[in-house]
A and B are shown apart, each in its own frame.
Chain A
């Protein structure tokens, strides 16, 4: 048996972050991960993250993963892959299977960062090939370059369901519908809107009543549900899909912690069985920590901060940093974490009904029920203004901790205000150069550049465009509304793509001026 000062289970965002903090203080750090590659789920996240600079905002998940790996490597972290931790015994003894060997390790401290497992729901036919988890879809298309299906129905409107639906479209699949039994969309409105504007219909208060097919999925029937989530007869709708994707939440994968004998609790706000910890992740067993989703389901951004907290605590526990240093770093990290835990989607607000923004504006009901803002509703929000000449229109209508747009504008046109969750506003007297940095910086793809009246009866609308094929300049097609309906004829004026946009192309289309505030997507045709 070998002894390590700290053993970390899981090389995902929190595990790696913890390892970095420990190793850079001179601690011999080992990380075991059952997968072939490190990074956990980060490498499947191809969208830009929310938050502030500190939280790696507007950087795509897989890029954050690459940065973390580089940092871990520089700090001297030892990551052992294809190494499955099959047991965690009392006194922090870790049992690892690698290849055809099982070995025991003793950790002076152990950080469990095993992440989460996907929840599933049952319906007739749910065991058929073609019914998959949303994570499986991400693994197939974003890691292995394989399309999960040709035509897919997504169940679940949380951020995972919304983000994966968008990713399916990016991979070249068709998304037939997005379905959720809840009456309201669970994820960010901006994530929903970027799916809705491509024409994907949302069916809230609906559930899958049957997956059809003998050997594999050939179709699916959904039904409207009543307030008790029971299907209502006569409301069935059939879709001829070959794949059904489930994104119905995550549960902490906390079995190792339970095995270790630390105190556990069943906490629905944290997603299920979690260890009871102090605010920095230490369990009831001294020297045993939990970080990331295993201690409560949140975002990768918070998992990374939690990992760093655990890493610093371990360093102090082992005598590699002073208590004073620890307290100072923890205070900073706590501030970062708290800023991420603000806004409408904060963990503290789970299950609460929020009807107004922090600015006192009514939250769009249409956005929550159908995934898009109506033309009338959108005018209420501070980011939506009318000006002469080209200017940003920011359809950001929910308070989420995110501010890259503010930093993106070289002319300082955009301000968020003192609280990171405030809705962005266009500063008075600002002069937009039309550079498009704000459009590309918005992780929610909610910023558009609009010239409402070009003087010849036309308007131009610049939209973020992350699909292939990229329409050619001068090509004709249609301007689509916020819910993906064909509104008007549109001509592609330009498609800009520079390194700073990071693969978010800026497509400018010319539309009749009466559609300047309505056309939000382009479809070739």
Chain B
């Protein structure tokens, strides 16, 4: 982890694979092929992939696909998944309506 990936490294051309149409991110409906292509488009970090394709940015916030996406990107880059920094963790950790998040009431009546 935290290893700087050398961006000048040649990872070869995008080669289509038979399972490229496999859905990986269930919420945003992103396929394996799209993720692999994104790597060849220069998106080498999980954060870049997320912003480029919206993987893991849907309702579940990557609960299901984070590990899968990491594996696909790592394989495409020829590195171990452990070398990829996971996505930034930030609040809110679960889906929450804007009106609730925005309210942030301080209440002492919980008990």
Partners in one complex: yes
Partner of A86, one of B24, B83, B91: B91
A1 — nearest CB in chain B belongs to which residue? B106
Q: Which residues of B contact A338 (CB under 8 A)?
A: none
Per-residue CB contact flags for chain A residues 249-272 toward chain B (1 = under 8 Å, else 0) read 001000110110000111110001
On whether A122 and B32 interact (CB within 8 A), knowing A84-B93, A102-B101, A127-B23, the answer reads yes
Say yes or no: is A90 at the interface (Cβ < 8 Å to chain B): no
Q: Is the CB of B92 within 8 A of A97?
A: yes
Which A72-117 residues have C-beta < 8 A from chain B? 78, 80, 84-87, 89, 95, 97-98, 100-104, 117
Identify which of B32, B83, B89, B101 contacts A256 (C-beta below 8 A).
Answer: B89
Q: Which residue of B lies closest to A256 (CB)?
A: B93
Task: Determine the distance from Cα of A80 to Cα of B63 in the docked complex, in whole angstroms.
Answer: 24
Bound complex: CA A120 to CA B68 (Å): 8
Contact residues on B (Cβ < 8 Å of other chain), bracket: 20 to 34
Interface assignment of B7: CB less than 8 Å from any CB of chain A: no
- Whether A119 sits at the interface, judged by CB under 8 Å, is yes
- Decide yes or no whether B15 CB sits under 8 A from chain A: no
**Which listed residue, B86, B89, B100, B111, touches A102 by the CB 8 Å rule?**
B100
Does any Cβ of B come within 8 Å of A429's Cβ? no
Q: Is B13 an interface residue (CB 8 A)?
A: no
Q: Verify if A352 is at the interface (C-beta below 8 Å from B).
A: no
Residues of A with C-beta under 8 A to B100: 97, 100-102
Q: Find out whether the CB atom of B105 lies under 8 angstroms from the CB atom of A102.
A: yes
Interface assignment of A2: CB less than 8 Å from any CB of chain B = yes
* Interface contact B110-A98, CB-CB below 8 Å: yes
Interface digits, B17-60 against A, CB 8 Å rule (1 contact, 0 not)? 00100111010000010000000000000000000000000000
Decide: B93 and A119 in contact? CB cutoff 8 A: no
Give the Cβ gap from B102 to chain A, nearest Cβ, in Å.
9
A-B contact count (CB 8 A): 86
Chain A interface, DSSP helix/strand/loop, else mixed: strand
- CA–CA, A78 to B63, complex, Å? 28
Q: Are B67 and A255 in contact (CB under 8 A)?
A: no
Determine whether the beta carbon of A127 is less than 8 Å from that of B104: no
| Residue contact B103 to A85, C-beta cutoff 8 Å | no
B107 at the interface (CB under 8 A from A): yes
- Cα of A1 to Cα of B68 in the assembled complex, Å: 38
**Given A78-B111, A103-B110, A122-B68, A85 and B105 contact (CB-CB distance below 8 Å):** no
Also in contact, A86 and B82, with CB within 8 A (given A103-B105, A122-B68, A127-B26): no
CB neighbours of A119 from chain B (8 A): 67
Q: From the candidates A78, A80, A266, name the one contacting B1 in the complex (CB within 8 A).
A: A266
Which residues from B are CB-within-8-Å of A264? 1
Q: Smallest CB–CB gap between B22 and chain A, Å?
A: 5
- Is A273 an interface position by the 8 A CB rule? yes
Partner of B106 from the list A85, A97, A103 (CB cut-off 8 Å) is A103
Residue of B nearest to A87 (CB): B91
Residues of A within 8 A of B (CB): 1-2, 34, 78, 80, 84-87, 89, 95, 97-98, 100-104, 117, 119-124, 126-127, 251, 255-256, 258-259, 264-268, 272-273
Besides the contacts A98-B110, A102-B100, A255-B93, what 20 more A-B pairs have beta carbons closer than 8 Å? A1-B106, A80-B110, A86-B91, A87-B90, A87-B93, A97-B100, A101-B103, A102-B96, A103-B104, A122-B24, A124-B19, A126-B23, A127-B23, A251-B67, A258-B89, A266-B1, A266-B86, A268-B82, A272-B67, A273-B86
| Closest 8 A/B residue pairs (Cβ) | A87-B91, A86-B92, A255-B89, A266-B82, A258-B89, A259-B89, A102-B104, A86-B93
